[in-house]
Structures are given as structure tokens and as C-alpha cells.
Amino acid sequence: MQMTSEDLIEVSTFTWPKGFYADSTHAGLKQDSDDMGWIYSEAPADAAGVYTTNQFQAAPTKLTKQTINLAHQLQAVVMNSGNANSCNGNQGEGDALMMQKMTADRLQIQPELVGIASTGVIGEPLPMAKIKDGISHLKLTKNSGLTKAILTTDTHAKTITVKCMVDGHEVTTTGFCKGSGMIHPNMATMLGFVTTDAAIEGNHLQELLSSTVDETFNQITVDGDTSTNDMVVVMANGAAGNQPLQEDSQDYPTFVMAFKKVLAHLAQEIAGDGEGASKLVEVNVTGADSHLEGQQVAKAIVGSNLVKAMIFGKDGNWGRIMQAIGQTTAHVDVNGVSVSINGLQLVKNSLGTGIDDDKVTKTLEQKKVTIDVDLNVGEFSGTAWGCDLTYKYVQINASYRS
């Protein structure tokens, strides 16, 4: 049997790729946990990024975008939680630049090689004395504390390490992210970081990141709100020793598969850890007129508050799903739609199948709920991820600053 790229990929225990270091510290931005950290590469790494589309793009996000766009290179990213440094005007932009310079001075590298990431409360000035003190305590370690230091309302760190072989060299790709509420990306409210010791030029990395984000992070939603801050940044330092990857490289498909596995895992981790969520929801749409329409319908279903509340209440009210489909502009066979939940068919030819409500309630008790929809108009598909809507979501966001 011929091996596929998937067969050549190994999900490993969390580890940093060759040539990367990371650390975290408690700077006092949050009360009782680490709230600052950095990633550092021994050599400048090729870099790529995608960024929030919110019009009030935060100062750290704008600065990182400008920095990466200079030459698609980074050697470090410094980050903090507890304060977004967003909507702070000229002061916020100056503070982001100062944060970049202080980090560069500490690492003895050029400021143009330092990215900045911040997350937390919007509209409060960044306490620069605490930021300076935090940077002074960061070291070049290999610990994983950074994956927790960036969290806000998340319940756990979200990480993955994947290994594969490229040109006979073992390549390690490690990702981590934060994100729980204000999640409705294009790009939005999460910080995601991917490090790899593969060699791949920045322009190729940017193309790969942008296309993969469209299929992963941009297909999750928790509450329909897009944040001001967030981004996904990738650094590839080439320490594995492979020849620089290009689209016609023999092992390029294997690396792409590994890269997509990292981003898809992180996206689902965010969706399943939505604020107050009790279930991960996956929607798979088939029979679409185009891939774009399949993606559109999947995200509309997973983003519908009525569907999310239905799932939380374990109520097999399939009409909620039908209305979510119908309010899109996608092509639909209005007399031929099918809907199933966890393999139980609720709708066939756009009519209820009369399945026993108790069976549906029982299956909705599972921690993962999979909704399959056939639009019956084409050969394309789409997938999106989200979560249910619970009472706890309101509790968390009613007291976010306190």
C-alpha cells in the first residue's frame, strides 16, 4: 500500500523546534499568573502573519504587521496578556515601539526583528514600568510556560507539536494559541504562534499561512465578535537543515500536511474552549455549489445563536439549522436538503424524518456534536467549528474587567 503524506506525520509531545527558545514571567499585569513572555530564534527566521480585520486594529498588531512586511523576517516575538494596548492612540503606538526596542536591546538584536503581541482589556494604557521589569526577567529557556502566560479567559493552554521528514531531516512544527471569547475570525480574536525548524522562504510561508488560515482559524466562531488585537504569526528558522521548501519540492506536500494539522488542531481547541462552552460543535457541509458556499453555510450554522442554544439545551429543534442555512446567499435545493446530528438523520428532502426526540437529546449530551448537511446542488464541501451558548458565557463577559 502506498504511503500518503498523512502517514509520514507524527503528533509528538510538546517541544520547541531546533534553535528556538521561550520563557515567561509574572510582570504584574494579571494578579496571580505569568502574563509576559517571548519566543526567540538563534538566527533570524523567515516569518509570515495574518491579522485582525477589525477597523480599530491595536498598536501591537499594526506594528507586528509592519515589521513582518519589511522583509518577512523575525527573530523574536514578545507578548503579554492582561492588557490589549488597543484604542490608546499615539501613546499606545509609542508604547508598542518602546516594547519592541526594549526587547531588542535585551536580546541584542535589531528592533526590526521583533514582533509584539498583546491581549486583554481594551482602552487601558500599557503599564510600561511593569512591561520593562517583565522583559528584564525573561531568559532563553526551553520551558512551556509561555503557552499559559498568554491566556485570558481560556481554561487551558492550547498546544501541538508535529514532526515529519523533509529531505531526510526531521522537521518539528510547534503551535500554541489563546482564544476563548470575542471569536469570529477573519482574522480575529486569538493570538496564534507557530514555530518550525523547516527552511522555507518568507513569501512561500506567507502564501501557505494565508491559505491555511482560511480553512482553519477563519472557520471558527464562538460569539460573532471580532477583536481588535489578534493575529497568527509563523517563524521558520531552517535549523532542521533541509533545502528551502518550494511548491515543487518532493516533500512539500508532507510539510504542508503537517502545517495544516497544527493550525486545524489549534482552531478546534479554540472553538471547544469558547467562553462557558460545554461542547465542541463541528459542521460539515456537502453538496455545495462551490467550496466558498460550503464554507459560508458551515460557518453560518455554527455561528447561529439559535443553533448554539439548541445544542446547549439538548433540543432536537432542527428548524434552527434550516433557518441558518436559508439566511445565507448560498445555492440550496430547497426541496432536497438533508441534516444529521451525530449520524442521526433529522431531515431528508427538507422534511423532518420523525426521529425520536429522546434519541436526539441523548446524542446531544456528547462533548462533541457533529452536524452534517447536504445542500444537494453541487460537489463541493465546507467545514466550520464552534461551541454551544451557555449561561456561563454571560457571566464571564458581564464581569470581564473585575
Same domain, 77 and 31: yes
243 and 311, same structural domain? no
Full residue range of the structural domain in which residue 389 is found? 280-398
Answer yes or no: is 152 a known binding residue: yes
Known catalytic residues are: 189
> For position 364, which CATH number holds?
3.10.20.340
Whether residue 36 is predicted with pLDDT greater than 50 in this model: the reply is yes
Residues 116 and 238 in one domain: yes
Cα separation, 282 vs 386, in Å, equals 7
Q: How many domains does the chain have?
A: 2
pLDDT band at 32 (very low <50, low <70, confident <90, very high): confident
Q: Of 237, 272, 307, which residue constitutes the final position of a domain?
A: 272
Q: Are both 359 and 343 inside the same structural domain?
A: yes
* pLDDT of 58 above 80: yes
User: Is residue 291 domain-shared with residue 261, that is, in the same domain?
Assistant: no
pTM higher than 0.85, yes or no? no
* Mean pLDDT score of the chain: 89
- Percent of the chain past pLDDT 90, that is, above it, reads 67
Cell numbers at 107, concatenated: 536580546
Q: Indicate which CATH number applies to the domain containing 148.
A: 3.60.70.12
Co-location of 180 and 198 in the same domain? yes
**Contact status, residue 63 vs residue 105, Cβ threshold 8 Å:** no
Give yes or no for residue 186 having a pLDDT over 60: no
In this structure, the answer to whether residues 118 and 150 fall within a common structural domain is yes
Question: Are 222 and 310 contained in the same domain?
Answer: no
How far is Cα 223 from Cα 233, in angstroms, rounded to an integer? 23
Please indicate if the annotation marks 189 as binding a ligand.
Answer: yes
Q: Could you tell me if 242 and 317 lie in one domain?
A: no
206 and 81 share one domain: yes
Last residue of a domain, which of 272, 307, 335? Answer: 272
Domain match, 241 and 375 both: no
Answer yes or no: are the C-beta atoms of 378 and 288 closer than 8 Å.
yes
- Which pLDDT score is estimated for 227? 57
Among 242, 272, 302, residue at a domain's last position:
272
Residues 187 and 313 in one domain: no
